[in-house]
Amino acid sequence: MTNNKTDLVRIEDIAFKRGERSVFANLSLLIPRGKVTAILGSSGAGKTTILNLIGGRIAPEAGHVYVDNQDVHQLSTNGLYALRKRMGMLFQSGALLTDLNVFDNVAFPVREHTRLPESLIRHLVLLKLELVGLRGARGLMPSELSGGMARRVALARAIVLDPMMVMYDEPFAGLDPISMGVIVKLIRELNDVLSMTSVIVTHDVHEACSIADYVYLVGNGKVIAEGDAETMLNADTAEVKQFMSGLPDGPVPFHYPAKDLSDDFMKAKL
């Protein structure tokens, strides 16, 4: 593995299972500091599982996850809690608290994790909402927001404590083209302006490659390929080319593994 000062996250030889199904076997990857890293893969490839491993929500069966040179799964409860306060998370659904307005949603982690006076919290929240273009929407309820607006509020909440890293779980899912363009632009700009590290988990190739400094493609329990966006888009490996170009035919099968169809027809039960 490379210099610890260069990489904020190091995943080393991770093995992880869900029940009897192996999700990862000896998975290793690096997330460089201050960069935007995209983790691509088809549905079920384990992309969100990687975020959960980084955040310590789940533990691997083997291997190590280091964040800022701390072994995540060896930390005490208090140590893990302290590390998580330095991470921001943008969930796929936005996960806004439905009974709180926009201002209070963004203020929630500040009130939870600090003892700042309300006057300072107000300034901080308004500044973050200004960054995502929604300062004027601070009094709206989540039910009054469009999908793109809700995602931007969730982004303001994710960065309100100035984290060292923000993890994005399918940030482009379900957005119209304009909202998607706004989110893409915000991720890149906020990463650079706030000197953060960004990890984007997605299957949206074009959007991820337009802003990522480095790209991983995961599948079959391992890293299939890695490189900068241009390298990945121009790869001639069949599996990489199929995913990056969205080709229906290739080494990645359409059908989930199953017995022969005629065998199922001969049986009364699934």
pLDDT one-digit tens code per residue, 60-100: 999 999 999 999 999 999 999 899 889 988 887 768 888 99
**How confident is the model at residue 3, as a pLDDT?**
47
- Tell me how far apart the 2 most distant CA atoms of the chain are, in Å: 71
Cα 67 from Cα 268, distance rounded (Å) = 51
Express each pLDDT in 148-206 by its tens digit.
Answer: 889 889 989 988 998 999 999 988 887 788 888 888 888 898 899 889 999 999 888 88
Domain region containing 239: 7-244
pLDDT recorded at residue 253: 55
* 22: DSSP letter: E
CA 258 to CA 201: how far, in whole Å?
A: 29
198: Cβ contacts below 8 Å, ≥ 6 apart: 35, 36, 37, 165, 166, 167, 168, 187, 190, 191
Q: How many other C-beta atoms are found inside a 10 Å radius of the C-beta of residue 124?
A: 18
Among 83, 16, 27, 43, CA closest to 169: 43
pLDDT at 6 over 90: no
Q: Is residue 267 part of a domain?
A: no
Classify residue 268: in a domain, yes or no: no
The SS3 of residue 19 is coil
Name which of 237, 223, 228 is nearest 210 in CA terms: 228
2, part of any domain: no
List the strands of the sheet with 197-202, edge to edge: 87-90, 165-169, 197-202, 36-40, 214-219, 222-227
Number of domains in the chain: 1
Task: Establish if 174 belongs to a structural domain.
Answer: yes
What is the model's pTM? 0.83
Who contacts 202 (Cβ-Cβ below 8 Å, separation ≥6)? 38, 39, 40, 47, 168, 170, 171, 172, 173, 208
Cβ partners under 8 Å of residue 98, min gap 6: 141, 142, 143
What's the pLDDT at 101?
95
Q: Which range has the worst mean pLDDT, 3-17, 54-68, 157-171, 248-262?
A: 248-262
| Structural domain contains residue 31 | yes
Answer whether residue 240 is part of any domain: yes
Tokens of 178: 């304009």
Burial class (CB in 10 A: 0-12, 13-18, 19+), 178: exposed
CATH of the domain at 122: 3.40.50.300
Residue 252 lies in a domain: no
